[in-house]
Amino acid sequence: MGLTYNITEDYLYQEGLAKGEQKGREEKRVLIMEMLLDRTLTIEKIAALAKVSAEYVRQIEELKK
């Protein structure tokens, strides 16, 4: 009878996953800010490219002001 261990339930695994997700969100936010600075793309186009809602892009636009 072997010992089994579900790595996906491990605390450190979960912590690493959360950090990776946070980093991904931060990178996406920076990308959106750079696209907003370009001023050639509409909010809707930026949202489509970044795969987020237009409202989220507007929120980021407000933060950069």
Residue 49 placed within a domain: yes
Residue 58 falls within a domain, yes or no?
Answer: yes
Quick check: is 55 in a domain? yes
Range of the structural domain that residue 64 is part of: 25-65
Q: Does residue 5 fall inside a structural domain?
A: no
pTM passes above 0.85: no
Residue 4 lies in a domain: no
Whether 10 maps to a domain, the answer reads no
- Neighbouring residues of 60: CB distance < 8 A, sequence distance ≥ 6: 29, 32, 33, 36
Total tally of structural domains belonging to the chain = 1
Q: pLDDT tens for residues 22-64?
A: 999 999 999 999 999 988 999 999 999 999 999 999 999 998 7
The reply to whether 37 falls in a domain is yes
Is 39 a domain residue?
Answer: yes
